[in-house]
């Protein structure tokens, strides 16, 4: 692998870390919300969480593919 490929991998890992932080924040917000007041917003929060989790899984797959295939 050349240096620019490693830079791309590091960039993808950094983006993944940022997404993990956002997901963690969302989980904390959902827990707080559930503890304070229970209403229909919970479904929206869970849907948002699921979408972010799917995006993260896709990014991880891209990084794994990039590393294993060298593309």
Distance CA 22, CA 16 (A): 10
Q: What is the pLDDT of residue 12?
A: 84
DSSP class per residue in 5-69: HHHHHHHHHHHHHHHHHHHHHHHHHHHHHHHH--STHHHHHHHHHHHHHHHHHHHHHHHHHHHHH
pLDDT one-digit tens code per residue, 2-33: 777 778 888 888 888 888 888 888 888 877 87
Q: What is the pLDDT of residue 55?
A: 87
pLDDT one-digit tens code per residue, 29-69: 877 877 776 666 777 777 788 888 888 888 888 887 877 77
Q: What is the pLDDT of residue 70?
A: 64
Total number of domains constituting the chain: 1
Q: Please report how the helices 41-69 and 3-36 are oriented relative to each other, as an axis angle in degrees rounded to 10.
A: 160
Distance CA 66, CA 8 (A): 9
Q: Residue 62 belongs to what domain range?
A: 1-70
């Amino acid at each position: 692998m050349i240096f620019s490929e490693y830079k791309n991998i590091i960039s993808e890992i950094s983006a993944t870390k940022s997404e993990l932080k956002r997901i963690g924040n969302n989980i904390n917000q959902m827990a707080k919300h559930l503890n304070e007041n229970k209403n229909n917003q919970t479904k929206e929060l869970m849907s948002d969480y699921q979408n972010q989790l799917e995006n993260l899984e896709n990014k991880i797959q891209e990084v794994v593919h990039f590393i294993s295939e060298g593309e």
